[in-house]
Structure 1
Amino acid sequence: MIAFLPQLFFLPGVFIVSGGIVGLIIGWFKLREPNYSLEITKEHIVYHHRRGKWRIHWDNIQRVDVPRVTKGIETVELEMLGFRLKDSDTFLDDISMRLITHLLLEQRPLVMHNVDPNCATGRCYGDDMIEDETYTRQDGTQVKGVTAMFGNRMLKLKERLGYDVFISTNELDRSPQEFIQLIKDCQETLIQQRLSNQSG
């Protein structure tokens, strides 16, 4: 088609065709994204990603909030939502391997939030950027591979930021505070339902 264009329109034709190809590629990647990122059921919160999903049982959620870090003398909220878990081992059983691999790369900036007081920027590289390939569960069994690396990453992030699992606030359909309130309301409703079932 471009070969038949007059010389004057050749370069604009190349740009239009290139733009169309880029648009098709972006559209194809958008179609691969799940329709929603979080699903709330009576038993779980399920996070959907094109590389897999994870699931947290309601009984395993200790706290949900926006993590904060100290930069100099001020405290800054991260654009993430953190889930603090009661038992991280059960979470490791409910996450897909492809998603683990993706999250290990995606969460590198979170690891760089250093607690070293000599770090002026708060984003200094530590000597622990690469995770250990062996993870010991609470029952004493050892896990190896990417699951072990992710388990160690969760421990490290829990120590530094106070949470085990993180999702970007961009993936929420409402403000982080509204979502946190929704989670609290769901937990309260589940507790009330269980109490009424026990008394009834």
Structure 2
Amino acid sequence: MSGTESEPIFIRASAKRNGITSVVIGLAGLLVSAMWLALAPDWLFLAGVFLTSASIVALLIGWFKLREPDHSIEISPQAIHYHHRLGNWHLDWDNVQRIDCPRVRKGLDHVDLEAIGFRIKDYAPFLRSVSPRLATHLLMEQRPLLFQNDDANCPSGSCYSETMFDDKQFTLSDGEVLTGIKAMLANRMTQLRSRLGFDVFVSASELDRTPAEFSSLMRQCQEARMNAVSAE
């Protein structure tokens, strides 16, 4: 695609939309509720409290939306960059093996998860790009994916597993030994690969289109990258 050949492609998270609107509604609601509580009769006091609470909730939602980076994903000719308020990670195109929507079996059918999966070739560059704070967030955010279990002893597909707390050391391909939160993330990636076929996941809420549409875009970018490299 032309975007991968020159300018980066920026993806704005759908979860960030209407942040300013939520803040404005919250502030307006607080103003109205202040006047309500000051002027309304006593029997309408509870309604004023409810309006105040709703306004505070709207204000907090807008504030959390505005805290997030303007763009969740940046697709450049060299790499894929993920941006979060707790940190960043990046994947070089040469380190990407596959990008697709992960699927799980539900009875006789296969269902797409509301996420995009990346299967990578070498964990080392990716793990070095992740800050400890973001690694902690990813462990918590992607924890529900471990409940997607095809184990014959788990008919519900939502069974507890001790691997959710796998904190043993992890050795990278170059011999470096990881401990702590980075080792936990690396072990989690191997677990998710064995269950879902991918190592790194981005939630649909971080995208500006459906996971299927984003997956198609990424495959086009990857193909354009391969064509550009072969032409050199």
TM-score scaled by structure 1? 0.90
Alpha-carbon distance, 1:74 to partner:
2.3
Alpha-carbon distance, 1:22 to partner:
2.0
Alpha-carbon distance, 1:41 to partner:
1.0
**1:145-184 superposed Cα distances (whole Å, 9 cap, x missing partner):** 1001000100111111110000112322222222222112
- What does residue range 81-120 of structure 1 map to in structure 2 within 5 Å? 81-120=116-155
- What's the C-alpha RMSD, in Å, of the aligned pairs? 1.7
- Give the aligned partner of residue 69 of structure 2: 34
Paired AA for residue 124 in structure 1: C
Q: Percent identity?
A: 51
- Give the aligned partner of residue 50 of structure 2: 15
- Give the aligned partner of residue 162 of structure 1: 197
- Give the aligned partner of residue 137 of structure 1: 172
User: How many pairs were matched up?
Assistant: 197
How far apart in 2 are the matches of 1:187 and 1:66? 15
**1:111-161 superposed Cα distances (whole Å, 9 cap, x missing partner):** 122232121111111232211241111222211110010001001111111
Show structure 2 runs of 5+ residues with no match.
1-33
Paired AA for residue 28 in structure 1: W
- Give the aligned partner of residue 69 of structure 1: 104
TM-score scaled by structure 2? 0.78
How far apart in 2 are the matches of 1:3 and 1:185? 59
Aligned with 1:12: secondary structure?
helix
Paired AA for residue 170 in structure 1: S
Paired AA for residue 191 in structure 2: K
Moved more, 169-178 or 29-38: 169-178
Question: With CA pairs under 8 Å and 6+ residues apart, which has the higher RCO, 1 or 2?
Answer: 2
Please identify which structure carries the higher helix content: 2
- Give the aligned partner of residue 188 of structure 1: 223
Runs of 4+ in 1 over 4 A off after TM superposition: none
Alpha-carbon distance, 1:102 to partner:
0.8
Paired AA for residue 37 in structure 1: S
Aligned with 1:163: secondary structure?
coil
**1:14-56 superposed Cα distances (whole Å, 9 cap, x missing partner):** 2222222222222211110222211111211111122222111
